[in-house]
Amino acid sequence: MKADVEVRLETLARQLGAVAERQGRLARYSMAGIGGPAELLVTAPDRETLVQAILGARALELPVWVFGGLTNCLICDAGLPGVVVLNHARGYRFEEHFRLHAETGALVAPLARAALQRGLGGLTWAVGLPGTVGGMVVNNAGAFGGETSRTLLSAELLSPAGEIVQVEPAWFEFTYRRSRLKGSQEGWMVLSAVFQLRPAEAAQLQAKADEYTARRLRAQPPGRTLGSTFKNPPGDYAGRLIEAAGLKGRRVGGVVISPQHANFFVNEGDGTAADYLALICLAQTEVERQFGVHLEPEIEFFGMECHCGG
C-alpha cells in the first residue's frame, strides 16, 4: 500500500514539475515556525496551478490540504500525509461600483492598504491582519469591530465535483470567527472573493489605519505566534481569563504564553506542535476549573486533535 501511495505521489510530482517538492518542510511557512513535512508540497503561484494540483490529487485519490499563510494553523510534528498545496495565487483588481476582486492567496494587509489609499473603506480594520483572503473568508476574520462577512459580496469556489461555482455570503453560514468551511471535510475550495467597499476620505481612513496599527503593536507580542489562540467567550476576553488563571509566562518546551498578551503563545526557538498543544490544554483546563468558562480554540489543528478542557 505504501509503495502504491509513493507511485501516485511521484506521478503527481512529475505532472506539476518544479512547483512540487517531496518531504517539503511546512515549518518554513508557518507563522510560528512549527510543523513537520508534507509528503508532497506544492507551491501554487497562480490559480491554474492551484486548481491543477487539487484536481490532480483528487484524481489520484491522495489526501489534499490547501493553505494560504499558515497564520492560525497548528500542524503536527509528524507532518501531513498526501499533498499540501500552498496557495500563492495573489492577483487582485479594483472594479466598478467600489468592488474589490481578489484571489484567495492574496495577502490581506496589503489589500486593505491598497483600498484605503484609493479612498475605499470596508477593510480598514484588516490593515494589520496576517494571512490571506482565503483564510479571512473561511474564518470570518475580524478586528476592531469589522468582520469579513459584512463586506463579502460573492465568492468563487471549486466544488468537490471539480466544478467552479459562484456563491453568495449566505452560503457560508457565517458566525463569530467561523464559516461552514472551517474544519470542513466537504472538499470545497475558495478560489476568489469579491468585496463591496464604500467611498470615504483617504486621509480619514489612513488615520484610522494608523490607530489600529498602533493598538496592535501595543497589545500583540512580537515573535513567532499563530495569532489569537482562543476565541473570546461571550462578554469576556480569553486573554484576561488566562492571565487571571495565573498562566502568563507559563512555558512548555520552547513555547510560552506571552507575558504581554496571554492569548498569544510564542515559539521562542525550538518549540514543537506538541508544546503548543500542551499549553492550549493547560489554559483550557485551568480557565474552566477556576472560572467555569470553556475556551474554544481560534486556531485550527491539522494532523492532531485537541480534546482537552470540557
Annotated catalytic residues are: 177, 228, 298
* C-alpha–C-alpha distance, residues 212 and 192, integer Å: 26
247 in helix, strand or coil? coil
The helix (H) or strand (E) run that includes residue 258 is none
Which residue has 503593536 as its cell numbers?
Answer: 217
Exposed / middle / buried, residue 56 (Cβ in 10 Å: 0-12, 13-18, 19+): buried
Q: Which residues contact 7 (CB under 8 A, 6 or more apart)?
A: none
Residues 303/105/134/78 CA torsion (nearest 10 deg): 10
Residue 144 near residue 125 (C-beta atoms within 8 A): yes
Using CA atoms, how far residue 73 sits from 43, 219, 234, in Å, is 17, 21, 23
* C-alpha–C-alpha distance, residues 119 and 204, integer Å: 9
* C-alpha–C-alpha distance, residues 170 and 237, integer Å: 28
